[in-house]
Structure 1
């Protein structure tokens, strides 16, 4: 009987941390270690070696150096946007699962290729999106039907940074987009889980630059979107910025039978006349949602159904953002041609 129990005990997963010396990577290290063994880290940053010593795992400057020197089942990838695709394709070719920071991919073409490679290798590529594991957003998803047919939404997400963006997010070559790709990815993923994919011809955008250096680099500080869903009659708006007067996130959905309001700590259902029907609050620390997210992904690496659903949702999110950027570039080129 003891032997049977021992046979059913799964060995701890072995994880390689890629980009672990950045802010996000350092945040994930202690949480990953709760569920898996970190067997090595890849990061060329000057501080990476001492951080690896602190966490007592081997350090490599390059991913190629880790191959063959450590055995690992999955990789946790937290690198600048420009590195996501080349890093993930090399990891899939090596036959390991990938758990990565958003975005899943920068372009629709990259997303489709990544899905193809993952399916061919029978491996998962999971994107770290904390709202999917925040109890307030889970409540909103589970109770959306209580407001009837949604016909309008507004989603605002703003930081209150006083100075221009710094670090790799201030580099066009590394960031590959401004707030739409960075902050907006979270919001569009939430909407992708709540509503059908919007008709790409009905997404209208406005890009704003508060700082001249960001305008010169074509990295938007603020984006405003108007989306319509012709098949359902749903319309909505998103506003995303880094330099608002206050930090805020608020989603409001109006339906034929009521309204749903969502913020990171509270969700409220209202009747058509505004009478509160139910209020759900969550006061847990952010780390609880992060812990749930990482534990869930690590526990479902071989779940092909979960993998398929994740791929489909991320493809919708990437496709929506990619088409907004491409439509804007097309309009800019058309304007330049008219002015020439």
Structure 2
């Protein structure tokens, strides 16, 4: 135990100029990569960007010249040509497994945009692939690197016995059928497995995997369009301890809202995207924490943390096995919506 603590302290104390940065590539040059991951890599102490890849050659040319790195339109060619230590994967959900398999063949570690997989069977297969190859895989769950969200449990300890959770994550997309996200065959589902993955992660992080899940979903927000990936979902969940709650997820209901409210016997905790408050049960604010910019360091923080996990200096708290719980919750939601019955997600593990 002493050796591990000393090793971790040395990792923290090592001056920036003495660390050898890991060579990183990015596959998929959409909004998430351009706004979060590539800037995060440039600011990282642990990794440096050396290659980018996207199926669109114009985007590749623009990004490779802008960042002075190698560019590819085929991720397989990128893995063959580059000696990468890690790759950031930001591709459509149905492409993720192919990129991970190729990365594993080349012993390249993977930082993957959510979701972990498109279904439970694929998730189990990815666990096996990572274990056989020995690579680290971490799912990007940025809220775990934001002090607004990490403060939640500290405040929750001060509100007595918690008994109900009310959570929402909604935004408005005019056409939920647009692109691959409207097709379950490519996305694995709609708002539950896609944007809802973040809020589900918060629920599991704060409270653990529920004992019962009951879900209803909608594909009716745009009856003039054809799509089968749910645009809206209402999910009820409960624990044998007595805690219960609900999640409202929607890709159609605006304005953009993200919140978790936990009520206890001696107060409430109210978490929003850039603010968290501890309140009385009557709504009086006792203490609060806010940030004008909610995400100034989350992208950099998760890249640096992943580098330390690769080097054995930190545990991989969002690895393949950990994300099986997320996939079991999501699978329980879809099975419940299909059968109109409560499902125990723990039985799906």
Given candidates 34, 37, 42, the residue that maps to 1:33 is: 42
Distance 2:236 2:109 in 1: 36
TM superposition shift of 1:69: 1.2
Deviation digits for residues 59-86 of structure 1 (CA, Å, limit 9, x no counterpart) = 2222221233110100110000111122
**Structure 2 match to 1:229:** 239
Equivalent in the alignment of 1:336: none
Say if 1:183 and 1:213 are closer, same or farther in 2 by CA, change over 3 A. Answer: farther
Measured in 2, the distance between the counterparts of 1:305 and 1:288 equals: 18
- Out of 201, 210, 216, the position equivalent to 1:206 is 216
- Counterpart for residue 13 of structure 1: 22
Structure 2 counterpart of 1:60:
72
| Pairing partner for 1:100 from 69, 88, 112 | 112
Contact 2:183 2:228 in 1 (8 A): no
Task: Please tell me the root mean square deviation across aligned C-alpha atoms, in Å.
Answer: 2.4
Deviation, 1:41, is 1.9
- 2:216–2:336 contact (8 Å) kept in structure 1: no
Task: Pick which of 219-228 and 24-33 moved more.
Answer: 24-33
TM-score by length of 1: 0.87
Cross-structure match for 1:315: 324
Counterpart residue number, 2:131: 119
Moved over 6 A (4+): none
Q: Alpha carbons of 1:150 and 1:60: their partners in 2 closer, same or farther (altered >3 Å)?
A: same
TM-score, length-scaled by structure 2:
0.85
Which whole-Å CA distance do the structure 2 matches of 1:221 and 1:48 have between them?
29
Distance 1:241 1:308, change over 3 A: closer
Q: Distance in 1 between matches of 2:150 and 2:314?
A: 20
- Post-superposition Cα deviations, 1:286-322, rounded to whole Å, max 9, x if no partner, equal 2422222222223322338612664443221111002
After superposition, the C-alpha distances for 1:221-278 in whole angstroms (9 at most, x for unaligned) are 1100011112x11110000112224211111001122111000111111234444321
Which structure: greater helix fraction?
1
Mapped to 1, the partners of 2:156 and 2:131 lie a distance apart of: 32
Output one character per residue of 1:125-179: Cα deviation in whole Å (capped at 9) or x when no partner: 1111121112211111332211122210010111133444533323333222111
For 2:318 and 2:68, the matched residues in 1 are separated by 36
Instruction: State whether structure 2 residue 263 is matched by structure 1 residue 254.
Output: yes
For the 8 Å contact 2:166–2:247, the answer to whether it is kept is yes
Asked if structure 1 preserves the Cα contact closer than 8 Å seen for 2:305 and 2:314, the reply is no
Instruction: For residue 191 of structure 1, give the secondary structure of its aligned residue in structure 2.
Output: helix
In structure 1, the partner of 2:230 is 220
**CA deviations over 1:41-69 (Å, ceiling 9, x no partner):** 22111423322233222222222212331
Structure 1 range deviating more: 49-58 or 132-141: 49-58
Give the match for residue 335 of structure 1.
none
Q: Aligned match of 1:239 in 245, 248, 258?
A: 248
The answer for the alignment partner of 2:5 in structure 1 is none
Q: Does 1:80 align with 2:92?
A: yes
Is 1:167 matched with 2:179?
Answer: yes
Q: 1:244 to 1:85 in 2, by over 3 A?
A: same
- 1:150 aligned to which of 162, 183, 193: 162
Q: Which runs of 5+ in 1 are unaligned?
A: 333-340
- Check the 8 A contact 2:214/2:337 in 1, yes or no: no
Partner residue, 2:6? none
Match of 1:296 among 305, 308, 311: 305
Q: 1:304 to 1:233 in 2, by over 3 A?
A: farther
Say if 2:116 is the partner of 1:140: no
- Counterpart CA distance in 2 for 1:243 and 1:67 is 38
Match of 2:344 in 1: none
Distance between the aligned counterparts of 1:10 and 1:141, measured in 2? Answer: 33
Indicate yes or no: 2:279 matched with 1:267.
no
